[in-house]
Amino acid sequence: MIHDPEFAIGLNAYADGELDEADRIQMEEHVVACEKCRSELDSILALKQALSAAQFQIEVPNGLELKVRRKLRAAQRRQALVKTLGAPIVGIAALAAAVSGLLVFQAGDIDEMVVRHERALTNGHLVEMSSSLSENIKPWLQERTEVAPPVLARIGNCVLVGARVESIGKKSASTLAYRCGDHVVDFYALADFHRSAESPSMLPKLVQSGPVHVVAWRRGRLNCYAVSDLPSSQLLNMARYIQDHAAEG
Amino acid sequence: MSSVTESKTREFEHEVLPHLSAAYRLALWLTRNPTAAQDVVQDSYLRAFRAWNSFETGNVRGWLLTIVRRQSYSFLRRGRKQVHLDINDETAMSPDDVRHLSHESTPEKVLIQGQSVEALRAALLALPTVFREVIILKDIEDMPYKAIAAILEVPIGTVMSRLARGRDLLRQGLKEVRS
């Protein structure tokens, strides 16, 4: 075996293909002539082969990517606010809002919805239940979620294509998908049982803008969100339409 | 929300998220704890995001893994007393020990080739962290010495000596598992 640490280092570097040409040739000549070193090299190469071939099956846990994306979105939002208002004001505003309970819409939920929306588009998995008929979609959602939202078959030029159920903030969210030309709009509805069905409504408002906009509103027990890359004004109009025509859904 | 920060986020996600799997693997090998590895990865991405403006073109994967390694070590230091890890001590086994361990006449190639994945994993996890990480980066992640040196923030010579000693220790560990 190799007793000289310096030589052992060289032999390992040779096995890794990391020696320069002159050292490589010198090592090669030595290994050919020295049985002990040849045996040591075989052992190092066998170990490298065993490690690279071993299937350690380390899979990224489900949900880790989503958690990372949520953290990034939260950091992005804070950076944008700091840029606009300055760090001290952001800190004071966040504290004041938290204390007074004014944080009506959960920022984490909104991030998650945006991520789910983008993932659905990327995967092409827009719906689990494909139908443009509200009478098909409504019962399907009622079987799977706590409170199903109003379902309109058409909103202006946008047509219902189906529904899916997403897990947002550990709650099941009814999700309706609409096609508006080349765009897709996802409507998410989350039940809030801390509120009664008669609780006052909140009109739709833009809560996040960017390539993907988010409009949020409240009706009774439902917190509702529209997520899309449609122009924000159009998304707001769709939300208002739903708010106004909810009884028909 | 500012479109500048939005586009920055998208650029970051596009460039850095594809390395999530490598980041998790390294964090898991170093912390040996799946929950801690997830926390380490999340914190690492957040730190990387904050530093994204200062990152110049180069090896994104290596840059991210440097952060993951630092975060993993922070975790290990916090729990050092509980888990009894000697994370920085390269002399956990002395050179004499290593030389002694290397003195073996059995054809090791045959022995190593017969090892199961579980035996390999157990022997790897039993290594001191400084040797384990260099073997992971070289023999599993297949990174060149130069990139490994950048991640470990040490000279290439240190990478080489740790690899030689680490592989010696690993082979010895495999023999012990076998016997």
Which among A5, A16, A209 has the least Cβ separation from residue B138? A16
Which ipTM value was assigned to this complex? Answer: 0.76
Q: Is the pLDDT of residue B178 over 70?
A: no
> Which among B31, B139, B156 is the top mutation candidate for probing chain A, defined by the most A β-carbons within 10 Å of its own β-carbon?
B139
Of A187, A231, A225, nearest to A209 (Cα)? A231
**Confidence bin at A247 (pLDDT 50/70/90):** low
Residue A177 contacts B where some CB pair is shorter than 8 Å: no
Nearest chain B residue to A17, by CA: B144
User: What's the pLDDT score for residue B76?
Assistant: 87
For all residues of chain A together, what is the average pLDDT?
83
Task: Give A146 or B147, the one with higher predicted confidence.
Answer: B147
**Could you read off the pLDDT of A148-170 as tens digits, one per residue?**
888 999 998 899 999 999 988 77
pLDDT at B102: 36
Q: How confident is the model at residue A235 (pLDDT cuts 50, 70, 90)?
A: very high
Touching B: A residues 196-215, CB under 8 Å: 208-211
Answer whether residue B96 shows pLDDT above 50.
no
In this predicted model, what pLDDT tens digit does every residue of A126-138 receive, in sequence order? 899 999 998 999 9
- Of the candidates A228, A133, A138, which has an alpha carbon nearest to the alpha carbon of residue A179? A228
Enumerate residues 6+ apart whose C-beta is below 8 A from B22.
Answer: B61, B64, B65, B141
Tokens of A96: 């004041």
The β-bridge relationship of strands A213-219 and A202-208 is antiparallel
The three-state secondary structure class of A243 is helix
Chain B partners within 8 Å of A11 (Cβ) = 164
Under the banding of pLDDT at 50, 70 and 90, the label for residue A89 is low
The reply to whether A71 touches chain B by the CB within 8 Å rule is yes
Question: Taking CB atoms and an 8 Å cutoff, what residues of chain B touch A69?
Answer: 13, 17
A169: left (phi over 0), alpha (psi -120 to 50) or beta: left
Confirm if A239 and A202 have CB atoms less than 8 A apart.
no
What residue spans of chain B are helical by DSSP H?
3-16, 20-31, 34-50, 60-78, 80-83, 95-102, 108-113, 117-126, 129-135, 145-152, 156-178
Rg from Cα positions in chain A = 29
The beta-carbon neighbor of A47 closest among B5, B6, B170 is B170
CA dist list (Å): B9 to A53, B118, B169: 36, 39, 43
**Type of residue found at B23:** A
Length of chain B: 179
Q: Which residues does chain B have within 8 Å of residue A122's beta carbon, measured at their own beta carbons?
A: none
Q: Is the pLDDT of residue A122 over 50?
A: yes
What distance in Å separates residue A142's CA from the closest CA in chain B? 35
The percent of residues in chain A predicted with pLDDT above 90, rounded, is 39
- Taking residues B105-125, report their average pLDDT: 72
Q: Do B167 and A18 touch (CB under 8 A)?
A: no
From B1, B77, B83, B69, select the one nearest B37 (Cα to Cα).
Answer: B69
pLDDT in tens, A196-217: 666 677 888 888 777 788 899 8
**Residue type (1 letter), A13:** A
Task: Determine the CATH number of domain A106-248.
Answer: 3.30.200.100
d(CA B126, CA A78): 42
Distance in angstroms (rounded) separating the CA atoms of residues B167 and B90 = 14
pLDDT at A5 over 50: yes
Are the C-beta atoms of A108 and A169 separated by less than 8 Å?
yes
> CB of A148 within 8 A of CB of A188?
no
Kindly tell me if the per-residue pLDDT of A84 is higher than 70: no
What type of residue is B113? Q
Question: Is the CB of A12 less than 8 angstroms away from the CB of B163?
Answer: yes
The residue type at A173: A
Residue B168 and residue B98 in contact, taking contact as beta carbons nearer than 8 Å:
yes
What is the per-residue pLDDT for B8? 82
Q: Which residues contact B81 (CB under 8 A, 6 or more apart)?
A: none
Tell me if chain B has a CB within 8 Å of the CB of A85. no
For the record, the structure tokens of B172 come out as 């010895």
* Cβ-based contacts of A67 with chain B (< 8 Å): 38, 42
How many helices and strands in chain A, by DSSP H and E? Answer: 8, 8
Per DSSP, what are the bridge partners of residue A225? A188, A216
A121 three-state secondary structure: helix
Domain boundary assignment for chain A: 5-53, 61-103, 106-248
Contact state of B17 with A51 under an 8 Å Cβ cutoff: no
Q: Is the pLDDT of residue B86 over 60?
A: no
Given this model, what pLDDT does residue A123 score?
A: 75
Q: Is A123 on the interface with B (CB under 8 A)?
A: no
> What are the chain B neighbours of A27 within 8 Å (beta carbons)?
none
To the nearest whole angstrom, how far is the Cα of A195 from the nearest Cα of chain B?
Answer: 30
Q: Which of A1, A61, A68 sits opposite B104 (nearest CB)?
A: A1
| B156 token code pair | 């290439």
- Confidence grade of residue B1 (pLDDT, cut at 50, 70, 90): very low
User: How many Cβ atoms sit within 10 Å of the Cβ of residue A161?
Assistant: 18
User: What is the predicted pLDDT for the residue at A212?
Assistant: 81
How far apart (Å, rounded) are the C-alpha atoms in residues B137 and B147? 9
Residue A127 tokens read as 């719906």
First-to-last C-alpha distance (Å) of chain B:
63
In the block, tokens 């000697």 appear at B86
